Amino acid sequence: MKVFKTITIETTDAIAVLKFNRPAQLNAMNREMMDEIIEGIHWINAQSDYHVAVITGAGRAFMAGADIKEYGNQTAEEFDTFQEKGMQLYDAIENASKPWVAAVNGFALGGGFEIALSCDLIVASEDAKMGLPEVFLSLIPGGGGTQRLIQKIGVNRVKEMLFLGGQYHAKTLKDWGVVNAVFPNDNFLYEAMDYAGKLSRRPQQSIAELKRLVNLSMTATPFEERINNEAQTVKKLYLQEEAQAAIQKFIKKSDQ
């Protein structure tokens, strides 16, 4: 496996963990880091041995957004490239067949929160805070924050978060439906890995199809087409050996 400068990748059992590794900068993302994250995501997605991917941060932050010192000194062309690569990063997570879990261990702001939003599930430590503070720079989120957040919570709360640019505690965001689970700080990574471990033990093909169909439900694809797609998919899975074996095992167990 390649050795990276700004991220690390560790694997255990059926789980791959991508960790942002610029703790002195609160894992703020510069161009080099973005390139390495994209490369790391693609590598993990290509490994069939790892059923679940976890993304987290080193130190006291998940990711505090873009590295403003570099971000603020870009030419128009460099800015366009940065945005285009950002789209590649989010798409690589969102369109992966395997599930991605954001393990938010601290601050997840701006682009860091947008990375978490592109993941399938979000778990967070008790002290984690998340938000989209771009308005303070007379900007708006540029990595899907205005679009993905509204897929998770109601429009009034989305507008509040975007307009005010505040930081929200993990427990608040769990109540709102953004965060799936909140774990104690002192054993956060253990709990996050246990959560991912349960997911890794589910049938990979079923999870991949579930992810695809749920994502399809949030597109402009006509409802009838989406329902038909679901019906075709369940038939395809039903006829495969893995499902037939599981069904027969269940029947045999229920007859005992």
- Cα distance between residue 204 and residue 210, in whole Å: 10
Same domain, 60 and 26: yes
Per-residue pLDDT tens over the stretch 56-101? 999 999 999 999 989 889 999 999 999 999 999 999 999 999 999 9
pLDDT of residue 35: 97
CATH number where 88 lies: 3.90.226.10
- Cα distance between residue 83 and residue 66, in whole Å: 11
pLDDT of residue 255: 75
Q: Which domain holds residue 231?
A: 204-255
User: Does residue 74 lie in a domain region?
Assistant: yes
- Secondary element (H or E) of residue 155: helix 155-164
Confidence band, pLDDT 50/70/90 cuts, at residue 254: confident
| Residue 132 DSSP label | -
User: Does residue 192 lie in a domain region?
Assistant: yes
Same domain, 59 and 100: yes
* Residue 117: strand, helix, or coil: helix
User: Does residue 48 lie in a domain region?
Assistant: yes
**96 contacts: CB under 8 Å, gap ≥ 6:** 41, 45, 53
Per-residue pLDDT tens over the stretch 155-202? 999 999 999 999 999 999 999 999 999 999 999 999 999 999 999 999
Share of the chain above pLDDT 90, in %: 95
Same domain, 18 and 132: yes
Higher pLDDT, 252 or 42: 42
- Secondary element (H or E) of residue 60: none
Say yes or no to pLDDT of 252 above 90.
no
User: Does residue 155 lie in a domain region?
Assistant: yes
Q: Is 172 exposed, middle or buried (0-12, 13-18, 19+ CB in 10 A)?
A: middle
User: Does residue 162 lie in a domain region?
Assistant: yes
pLDDT of residue 82: 93
pLDDT of residue 62: 98
Q: Which residues are catalytic?
A: 114, 134
User: Does residue 1 lie in a domain region?
Assistant: no
Same domain, 193 and 231: no
Say yes or no to pLDDT of 2 above 90.
no
User: Does residue 2 lie in a domain region?
Assistant: no
Kindly report the pTM of this predicted structure.
0.95
- Secondary element (H or E) of residue 168: strand 168-169
- Secondary element (H or E) of residue 123: strand 121-125
- Cα distance between residue 7 and residue 128, in whole Å: 20
Confidence band, pLDDT 50/70/90 cuts, at residue 210: very high
